[in-house]
Amino acid sequence: MELRPADSSSGWRRTAYSVIFEADTPAGRAFDVALLWAILLSVLAVMLESVRSINATYGQLLRAIEWFFTGIFLIEYLARLMVVRRPLSYALSLLGVIDFLAIVPTLLSLVIVGSQYLLVIRTLRLLRVFRIFKLGHFVGEGEFIVDALKASRFKIMVFLTAVVTIVIIVGTLMYVIEGGNNGFTSIPQSIYWAIVTVTTVGYGDISPVTMLGRTLASALMIMGYAIIAVPTGIVSAQMASASRPAAQPPAFKQVVCHVCQAGEHRPDAEFCWRCGEHL
């Protein structure tokens, strides 16, 4: 979706648009850099507020900072709505929704205690700031990764379906084997354990104790070991083939025989291969 300035004739709107939405001018770049810092600092403030000892001493200050940045982001949001040609399109776009969600939690925290922590969603606003680096390599490389993942999405979905099936069945078997003890208190818990195991995370908050359980767990782990090769192989192969130059398309003469309509002649052909007519 291309957003355009609200009114192409009005001077100040055009300028404001280029500053707020674009990064080609020095002012636009400065705006984006300021935004980057505002996002990082406000997210940092939210994080620090959640630390009890810091909250006890600097809570007042941190909440003030939160409101300060929320105010700034609110003004920025309203400014965006004002200078853009179609405010509704912007408000409903992905970035627009994120901009909005970056303001709401502070207001919400007046009603629901703790909801201000959701302000970390502001981190997603960094997506917007990546425009600053648009001319650099980042966007291109990011697109390369996203493209590789997109091209592999069916393979990855098939793979994830297989993993889900395995963890459901192994988790249930484990629940039956360990008999509801040792943390395997229900099938969902056992499935959680199976996921922790097959992904090789291995917290150890739940772990099998019986001989049979450990044998099954060993099988699952070795299977997980082999399984992890699959997504890696998928993405590696995809990226390797993407970075390889495409096999050049067959180079044929852009001409069709006027007698038999045959195409696909050699580039240097003078006569039709099918009917022998001069091309």
Site for its own copies in 140-169 (CB under 8 A): 140-142, 144-145, 148-149, 154-161, 163, 165, 168-169
Part of the chain binding its own copies (CB under 8 A), chosen from 27-35, 56-64, 88-96, 223-231 = 223-231
Q: Residues 9, 57, 60, 232: which binds its own copies (CB under 8 A)?
A: 232
Q: Residues 11, 60, 249, 270: which binds its own copies (CB under 8 A)?
A: 270
All residues at 6 or more sequence positions from 14 whose CB lies less than 8 Å from its CB, including other chains: 5, 7, 8
Q: Which residues pair with 84 in a beta bridge?
A: 5
Contacts with its own copies by CB under 8 A: the residue count is 100
* 104 belongs to the binding site for its own copies (CB under 8 A): no
d(CA 16, CA 88): 18
- Give, as ranges, the residues between 51 and 70 that touch its own copies (CB under 8 A): 51-52
CB 208 within 8 A of CB 179: no
* 185 belongs to the binding site for its own copies (CB under 8 A): yes
Q: Residues 11, 26, 245, 249: which binds its own copies (CB under 8 A)?
A: 245
d(CA 6, CA 14): 8
In the complex, least distance from residue 166 CB atom to its own copies, rounded to whole angstroms:
9
Which residue, 3 or 272, has its beta carbon nearer to its own copies? 272
Which residue, 34 or 44, has its beta carbon nearer to its own copies? 44
* 43 belongs to the binding site for its own copies (CB under 8 A): yes
Sign of the torsion angle spanned by Cα atoms 181, 185, 190, 196: negative
The tokens for 138 are 């980042």
Q: Residues 7, 237, 258, 261: which binds its own copies (CB under 8 A)?
A: 237
CB 71 within 8 A of CB 97: no
DSSP state of 123: G
**For 164, what's the count of Cα atoms within 13 Å in the CB-facing half-sphere?**
6
CB 206 within 8 A of CB 185: no
- Give, as ranges, the residues between 123 and 142 that touch its own copies (CB under 8 A): 123-124, 126, 136-138, 140-142
The tokens for 100 are 């909005």
All residues at 6 or more sequence positions from 15 whose CB lies less than 8 Å from its CB, including other chains: none
The tokens for 128 are 């917007």
Which residue, 87 or 231, has its beta carbon nearer to its own copies? 231
Q: Residues 37, 78, 181, 233: which binds its own copies (CB under 8 A)?
A: 233
- Closest by CA position to 257, among listed 234, 232, 275, 241: 275
* 11 belongs to the binding site for its own copies (CB under 8 A): no
Q: Residues 7, 240, 258, 261: which binds its own copies (CB under 8 A)?
A: 240
* 42 belongs to the binding site for its own copies (CB under 8 A): no
* 40 belongs to the binding site for its own copies (CB under 8 A): no
